[in-house]
Each structure stands twice: as structure tokens, then as C-alpha cells.
Amino acid sequence: MGGRPEAPGAPLNAPLVPASNFLLGTERVYSRTEATETWEAFEDVIGGLEGGEAVAFASGMAACAAVMHRMPDGGHLVLGDDCYLGVAGLAEAGERDHGWRVERLPVADERWPERAGAADVIWLESPSNPLLEVADVERICAAPRRADATLVVDNTFATPLFQRPLALGADVVVHSATKFVGGHSDLLLGVAVARDPDLAEELRETRGLTGATPGALETFLALRGVRTLPLRLRQASASAAVLAERLAEHPAVARVRYPGFGAVVSFELAGAAAADAACADARVIRHATSLGGVDTTMERRGTHERQEHVPPGLIRMSVGCEDVEDLWADLRRALGG
Ligand SMILES: Cc1ncc(COP(=O)(O)O)c(C=O)c1O
């Protein structure tokens, strides 16, 4: 229950503070560099959930870019072969513009602990987007690495409800808070949570210099969203497990990918045309990108760039909070019975 005002007579919820500047006389001067009460409260809650010091950003990509900023010119980055396409884009840009050596490993590869030992930045996304591959986060976090290395876990899909990487030894956790943390598809927000307060300070500095600051309204909404994260995710994950099981039995479905927890299910149809038709025919399930909201959404991921490794008929479905039988009836209809 972090992020709550404590003073007698204070409102129960942290107030929405839309401010760019403050009356001089304290450390709070200008809200690109000093937090407003609203984002302080949001950071307090997420920091508490992940077990570190949280730094909120304007989007998940802003958080990822700030952490990736730790890569030195000519440095060595180890990254999963399946990961959010924006992060793959950052790696490509680093390779091209800063001489990074980018090593892409299958997410579940045995060599991660060994490869982590030599890297500047080890970037784990587990479960991965969109193939839902799962890494041995515990083993990789426990493996020896250089004192100046940064081990990052993108916890967007698992959320701290299913995985707490800092407790396992990761240096930083990043989130697209746009997704499950916000939970209502009405904001863009990111957060990086560091185990070491010095690293959190470095990230705050990068945020201030690049102007990647979160909006007041976004943090207010995300703060409200995160209060129901356990309820939403419990419902959505239970439904996702049921749908994954039923989809696996459906004759139109070639393969189901579900890690056994969480609210995202990916499944493969015969090809791109079949997947496009299913997405277009669904009614309860909205044909939309992104994930983590109360509404179930699905889309064919092969429509995006940097998804050449994704089977053309793969649909990524983010299960929301609707009745599971309504979702199954809709899916069955969209899949042709
Ligand atoms: C795993 C993961 N990380 C990072 C991001 C980037 O977040 P945002 O879209 O909030 O910038 C996304 C977005 O889909 C994502 O799925």
C-alpha cells in the first residue's frame, strides 16, 4: 500500500499534480528534473512491488533506452532472439552507430549464464514478446558477471506478481507500465527499478537530461491501475490458462504457446491469411496491438517489422477481464467453429 499520503486530513489517494515548476525554497524546482507528488507515489508503489528504487519514464521504451544508455561504445550486449521489437531496434542502432557487439541467444538457451560473464549488458525478457519463451532467470541472475555489468530483466509480461528479478540478483527491472501495470489501455508509461540507489540516480539523471519524464495524468492513472493489478491479473491469468488449453484442442490451431502463468497466449494458425481472418472476425476480442488491458486484444505479430522470426500465422492474444466463456465463444466463432 505504498504511495499513500499519510498526514491526517490528507486525501486517501496521492493527488494529481500537473506542475512544471514550484515556488523556490526547497529542492523541488522544475518537474523535468524533480518529481511531482504524483510520480513520487507511483515510483514508491512500483519500487515496493519490485524491491528496489523505481524511476518512472514517459514510456516503456524511454525506460529501456535509459538503461541501454549504460552500454559503452564497442561494448558487448547479450539479448534474447525473441524480444520486444523496439528493444531489438535499440540494439540494431547501437550496433550501427556505436560499434556494439550484439549477441542474440535463444531465450531458453543453456549458454546464458556463461555468456553473461563476458557482457556489458545482459538483457533478459522473460516471458518474451511475442513467442512467450521463458528464460532461467534465477540461474542467469546467480551466474558470475563483471562488477560493471548490468543485468536487466524486462518484467512487463510477468509483473512482480509472478517474478521478482531483483530478489534473484538482477540489477534493473524495466516495465512497459503501459501494459499490465496501467492496465486499462489509456496511457503510455515506463519504469526502471534498480537494486542499487546509485544506479537509480544515474537513471534519474538520464531521464532529466533526455526529458523522458512521465506525465502527471499518466502516473495518476497508473497509480490507480496498479491498485487492482492482483485482481485483474488473477482473473486474466485464470482465463488465459483455460483458453490456452482449449485452443490446443482446436483443429484450426497448429501450436499454442503459454508459459503456464500470465495473461498472454500466443497461438498459430495455418498461415497469415487464416490469422488475419480470425482477428477480423472476432467481436468480443478487439483487434488491436498492445496488451495488458482489461479488454482482451489480439493481433498477428508478423505484420510488424523485426518479427521475421515469428511464424506468419501467429496471433498474440492478451487476455483481459471478460467472462472466459464469452471469450471462448468468440474465439470459436472466429476460428470457424
Ligand atoms: C516487453 C516490452 N517491453 C517494452 C515495451 C515498450 O513499451 P512502451 O510501448 O510503453 O514504450 C513493450 C511494448 O510493447 C513490451 O512489450
Which ligand 1 atom sits closest to the C-alpha of 291? Answer: 14
Kindly report whether the peptide bond that precedes residue 130 is cis, defined as omega within 30 degrees of 0. Answer: yes
- Reply yes or no on whether 30 is catalytic: no
Residue 242 and residue 124 share a domain? no
User: Is 177 in contact with 39 (CB distance < 8 Å)?
Assistant: no
Cell of 240: 488465459
Q: How far is the CA of 123 from the centre of ligand 1 (A)?
A: 14
Choosing from 179, 204, 232, 257, the catalytic residue is 179
How high is the pLDDT of residue 2?
A: 87
- Reply yes or no on whether 154 is catalytic: yes
Residues 13-36: pLDDT tens digits? 999 999 999 999 999 999 999 999
Contacts of 198 (CB under 8 A, 6+ apart): none
How high is the pLDDT of residue 1?
A: 63
Q: What is the pLDDT along the chain (337 residues), one digit of tens a residue?
A: 689 999 999 999 999 999 999 999 999 999 999 999 999 999 999 999 999 999 999 999 999 999 999 999 999 999 999 999 999 999 999 999 999 999 999 999 999 999 999 999 999 999 999 999 999 999 999 999 999 999 999 999 999 999 999 999 999 999 999 999 999 999 999 999 999 999 999 999 999 999 999 999 999 999 999 999 999 999 999 999 999 999 999 999 999 999 999 999 999 999 999 999 999 999 999 999 999 999 999 999 999 999 999 999 999 999 999 999 999 999 999 999 7
Choosing from 82, 120, 154, 276, the catalytic residue is 154
Residue 98 and residue 147 share a domain? yes
Strands (E), the chain: 53-57, 76-80, 101-105, 121-125, 150-154, 172-176, 190-194, 255-257, 264-268, 286-287, 297-300, 314-318
Choosing from 32, 115, 246, 332, the catalytic residue is 32
**Tally of domains within the chain:** 2
Residue 247 and residue 179 share a domain? no
Residue 265 and residue 210 share a domain? no
* Parent domain of 237: 229-334
Task: With respect to residue 293, please indicate whether it lies within any of the assigned structural domains.
Answer: yes
- Reply yes or no on whether 179 is catalytic: yes
Cell of 149: 555489468
> CATH number, domain at 83?
3.40.640.10
Residue 125 and residue 163 share a domain? yes
Residue 190 and residue 274 share a domain? no
- Ligand 1, CB within 6 Å, residue ranges: 59-61, 64, 84, 86, 125, 129, 154, 156, 176, 178, 188, 190
Residue 189 and residue 236 share a domain? no
- Reply yes or no on whether 330 is catalytic: no
Q: How far is the CA of 154 from the centre of ligand 1 (A)?
A: 9
Residues 227-271: pLDDT tens digits? 999 999 999 999 999 999 999 999 999 999 999 999 999 999 999
